[in-house]
């Protein structure tokens, strides 16, 4: 129902299906993004506009038409520890795409925690997780990244929602031919980041929980690149949540300023595109 109204098309590779939790996460993410897009452009219209107005805004921003829906495609690539379908190299975590560095002997886990075990042997071909935005209206998920399920189900569901919002951030940047990610690149180093691993984090993103679990809720990608930083800033902007800790506040404020200043114009540019 919501999917139809917002022009969302869920597809899955043969033999798999979206779980109800995943479908719910996608709906919530789309709803949150649509609400934020609408409020950033014309809040007075949104107040009287309701769901139809939200859907119209969302579709215009992402260029969704009747004959070109926004497709979320599920393909885990691995079922029962067997590779069933090669592809989506970029769905693998960055740490899995990095050759193991023999100098980093003190932190082997970060390289191996997503490893596959095939026929009892560890395979260095890591398990795809999370999503990858191919084009503005084509997003593939190996999984909705709930990640580290030792935490409660509420946090787990929040991570799934945030994973979808992060991908919608990539899609938004793609809609504008990468202008937002280029703006991150051109900005002063205040919102740039040093290389980081699971144990540390770029400054300025919301710190809901300082553990590794919390880190991966509000910083969805451990890769420090213009495109990943923008996608996580899109996530922060959607919730209006930024780092408010003493050490990170200045970076959080800078990220908030960056997004609040640019998003309204970018949204209007996106809506005007064919």
Cβ-based burial of 144 (10 A; exposed 0-12, middle 13-18, buried ≥19): buried
Identify the three-state secondary structure at position 5.
helix
Per-residue string for binding with Zn ion, 11-50, x by CB under 5 A?
----------------------------------------
Q: At what angle do helices 20-62 and 153-175 cross, to 10 degrees?
A: 20
Q: How far is the CB of 171 from Zn ion (least distance, A)?
A: 10
- CB-based contact 111:102 (threshold 8 Å): no
Size of the site for Zn ion (CB under 5 A): 3
- Looking only at residues 218 through 237 of this chain, which bind Zn ion when binding is defined by CB under 5 A? 221, 228, 231
The region of 141-149, 182-190, 217-225, 263-271 touching Zn ion under the rule CB under 5 A is: 217-225
Q: Name which of 216 and 231 has its Cβ closer to Zn ion.
A: 231
What's the Rg (C-alpha) of the chain?
Answer: 19
Q: Name which of 228 and 254 has its Cβ closer to Zn ion.
A: 228
User: What's the token pair of residue 168?
Assistant: 């919608």
Q: Name which of 57 and 173 has its Cβ closer to Zn ion.
A: 173
Q: How far is the CB of 246 from Zn ion (least distance, A)?
A: 28
Cβ-based burial of 262 (10 A; exposed 0-12, middle 13-18, buried ≥19): middle
Q: How far is the CB of 2 from Zn ion (least distance, A)?
A: 24
Q: Name which of 129 and 267 has its Cβ closer to Zn ion.
A: 129
Q: Among all residues, whose Cβ is closest to Zn ion?
A: 221
Handedness of CA 62, 92, 208, 22 (dihedral sign): positive
Q: How far is the CB of 238 from Zn ion (least distance, A)?
A: 14
Element (H, E) at 32: helix 20-62
Q: Name which of 41 and 133 has its Cβ closer to Zn ion.
A: 133
Q: Does 183 bind Zn ion (CB under 5 A)?
A: no
Q: Name which of 60 and 128 has its Cβ closer to Zn ion.
A: 128
Q: Name which of 61 and 231 has its Cβ closer to Zn ion.
A: 231
Q: 62 CB contacts (<8 Å, ≥6 apart)?
A: 7, 70, 136, 137, 171, 172, 175, 270
Q: How far is the CB of 272 from Zn ion (least distance, A)?
A: 26
- CB-based contact 95:110 (threshold 8 Å): yes
Report residue 219: phi and psi, to 5°: -125, 100
Footprint of Zn ion on this chain (CB under 5 A)? 221, 228, 231
């Amino acid at each position: 129902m919501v999917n139809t109204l917002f022009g969302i098309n869920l597809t899955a590779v043969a033999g798999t299906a979206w779980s109800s939790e995943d479908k719910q996460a996608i709906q919530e993410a789309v709803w949150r993004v649509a609400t934020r897009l609408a409020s950033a452009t014309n809040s007075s219209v949104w107040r009287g506009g309701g769901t139809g107005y939200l859907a119209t805004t969302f579709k215009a921003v992402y260029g969704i038409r009747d004959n070109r829906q926004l497709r979320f495609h599920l393909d885990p690539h691995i079922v029962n520890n067997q590779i069933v379908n090669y592809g989506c190299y970029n769905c693998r975590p960055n740490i899995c795409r990095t050759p193991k560095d023999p100098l980093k002997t003190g932190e082997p886990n970060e390289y191996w925690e997503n490893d596959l075990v095939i026929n009892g042997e560890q395979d260095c071909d890591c398990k795809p997780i999370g999503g990858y935005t191919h084009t503005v209206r084509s997003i593939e998920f190996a999984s909705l990244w709930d990640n580290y399920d030792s935490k409660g189900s509420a946090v787990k569901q929040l991570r799934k929602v945030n994973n979808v919002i992060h991908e919608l951030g990539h899609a938004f940047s793609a809609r504008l031919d990468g202008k937002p990610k280029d703006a991150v690149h051109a900005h002063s180093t205040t919102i740039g980041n040093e290389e980081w691993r699971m144990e540390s984090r770029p400054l300025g993103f919301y710190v809901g929980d300082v553990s590794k679990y919390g880190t991966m809720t509000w910083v969805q990608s451990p890769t420090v690149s213009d495109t990943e930083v923008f996608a996580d800033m899109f996530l922060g902007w959607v919730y209006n949540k930024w780092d408010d800790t003493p050490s990170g506040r200045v970076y959080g404020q800078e990220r908030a300023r960056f997004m609040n200043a640019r998003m309204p114009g970018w949204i209007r540019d996106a809506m005007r595109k064919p």
